[in-house]
Structure 1
């Protein structure tokens, strides 16, 4: 059981009735709170919860149509995303209770101040290195317009300016990260065919690919609903069309790909995770056609080449700079 869920269950008497659990972990909390339902924007967590608790979890960037009498937000990493989520929940809880739970090292005490616009927050519990806060929503906000919170920036490229649109919580929100900037310099001579932008984020890579290789089919995949929504906004802003899907890692990707291109994150929340990338490197061969290739940008200190060579083939370094390297391997 996630320690944040354990803190909730210490106060279980508060959480009876029609409760929404927003950003909940994929544990047994729904089993312990039989009248509650979930809202997830992480495809992996949502899949796990739906498999165990059918029809009790909603996936997307908005709370959904189902009514709720109280809500708990599990603190996400991004302050901007936290603000959007709190406003989205508080807008439907006038006169009722909104709770915030999170780990101390994730900044729960600082985040609790984001409850102040709605009423007077109070700390209910501190245990398991977590805190639980509560506010009665006295000042219900209007329903936030998520698209109005998007940040846009212009990316000058050799073939023209690309408009990038990113939503709160999406990787490198409102700016181009150094790894992707380097990657954009090494997208030439890709094999013709179906291309995958794995971990698409705000859609920079996928949009550039579609513009540079208009005859190729481009699919963009991310585990996060806000990233997928951002990618769709970026495509629309540039009058481009590509398939955007959500799923938990490479297993959700199409087969028969000619290229997999990725700038994989290795942070998830406040924890460091390499599993999704390592799983990608092990499974890429199953998704690539003969002579299809993988291109990956990664921090130079990450020892990916041995894993790439073990599961795919000889690994070449196409470029490096500012602490990043571009790797390429082809399926033989």
Structure 2
């Protein structure tokens, strides 16, 4: 069980009634709570959401607070400070004065900093410190009027060849306020990508999806991500750049196994972080399984840190791969499904 969940269980005497667990990990926490707690989950991680549903839990996959009333809230601290600010705002605009808001997180994940973010809304009290985690309580003394989602957007423009794109990103989304180096290295090579039915795996703020759609009005781009905030950001980026809804299909996915099949090309700047921890599993699965989602002569395009072993994996599963460029610490990797 996640150590944060273990700390919550240590303090479950504090919990009662209808309790919303925000960003709860994929484990047995809600099952092990006493019957006096009626637990629900709000998550923006689709893989966690599917796991919660499989356990028969009341799980909500969304970027906004569930349309229910709750007696208490437990926030599992996310990695992003900006995302936590948004989550606290959502809570403070939906909960009632005098209700308890609990915060749990790892010390190395910034839980003490997160507790300071709560102080705007009342006095905070640390209830527990164990398993390298902390558990805090706030009695809500200051409510907020809910702001529209667009108020939390960060926008910036990028120039790619003759295209100017306006990028929109919500809190917690990769490259929220600037173009990351990896995507910048990849973008000039997207003119070489085969047209047709395309997928952008790990779409983030929608930079790759939007540019692929702009390159050819006949392209249909399937934007795939595990994160609800990323999918909403991609949707808004495409709206701001006047991309037709017929060109963009948004998909919440648990991994590459949920991608459409029969693709002409699969493009990705794959993630290698899960929360505050480094994880290469998602990217390695992409290299291993991508070929099953491509049609004959279908293409795989990846940009990745040069120190990662993706060229070896691509060679293993595609039979051959090419390095299109190696610059600024990143490689653009290419493979064709018919290569042996």
TM-score w.r.t. length of structure 1: 0.98
C-alpha distance in 1 between matches for 2:11 and 2:136: 11
Corresponding residue for residue 309 of structure 1? 315
Corresponding residue for residue 93 of structure 2? 91
Spell out, residue by residue over 1:252-308, the C-alpha distance to the aligned partner (whole angstroms, 9 max, x if none): 111100100000111121100000011111111110001101000000100111111
Report SS of the residue matched to 1:184: helix
Supply the RMSD in Å over aligned alpha carbons.
1.0
Q: Kindly state the Cα deviation for residue 16 of structure 1 after the two structures are TM-superposed.
A: 2.3
Q: Kindly state the Cα deviation for residue 188 of structure 1 after the two structures are TM-superposed.
A: 2.1
Corresponding residue for residue 32 of structure 1? 32
The reply on whether 1:324 has 2:326 as its aligned counterpart is no
Q: Where in structure 1 are there 5+ consecutive unaligned residues?
A: none
C-alpha distance in 2 between matches for 1:188 and 1:149: 32
Q: Where in structure 2 are there 5+ consecutive unaligned residues?
A: none
Any conservation in 2 of the 1:200–1:220 contact (CA below 8 Å)? Answer: yes
Q: Kindly state the Cα deviation for residue 147 of structure 1 after the two structures are TM-superposed.
A: 1.4
Q: Kindly state the Cα deviation for residue 159 of structure 1 after the two structures are TM-superposed.
A: 2.6
The reply on whether 1:74 has 2:79 as its aligned counterpart is no
Instruction: State which of 113, 117, 123 in structure 1 corresponds to 2:116.
Output: 113
Corresponding residue for residue 203 of structure 1? 206
TM-score w.r.t. length of structure 2: 0.95
Q: Kindly state the Cα deviation for residue 146 of structure 1 after the two structures are TM-superposed.
A: 2.1
Report SS of the residue matched to 2:17: coil
Q: Kindly state the Cα deviation for residue 330 of structure 1 after the two structures are TM-superposed.
A: 0.5
Corresponding residue for residue 135 of structure 1? 138
Spell out, residue by residue over 1:165-224, the C-alpha distance to the aligned partner (whole angstroms, 9 max, x if none): 000000011110000000001112222320100000000000000000211211100000
Any conservation in 1 of the 2:199–2:263 contact (CA below 8 Å)? Answer: yes
C-alpha distance in 2 between matches for 1:90 and 1:140: 5
Q: Equivalent residues in 2 for 1:2-21 (5 A)?
A: 2-21=2-21
Q: Kindly state the Cα deviation for residue 134 of structure 1 after the two structures are TM-superposed.
A: 0.7
Any conservation in 2 of the 1:284–1:312 contact (CA below 8 Å)? Answer: no
Work out the number of aligned pairs and report it: 331
The reply on whether 1:217 has 2:220 as its aligned counterpart is yes
C-alpha distance in 1 between matches for 2:164 and 2:216: 16
C-alpha distance in 1 between matches for 2:323 and 2:189: 11
The reply on whether 1:178 has 2:181 as its aligned counterpart is yes
Report SS of the residue matched to 1:186: helix
Corresponding residue for residue 241 of structure 2? 238
Report SS of the residue matched to 1:164: strand
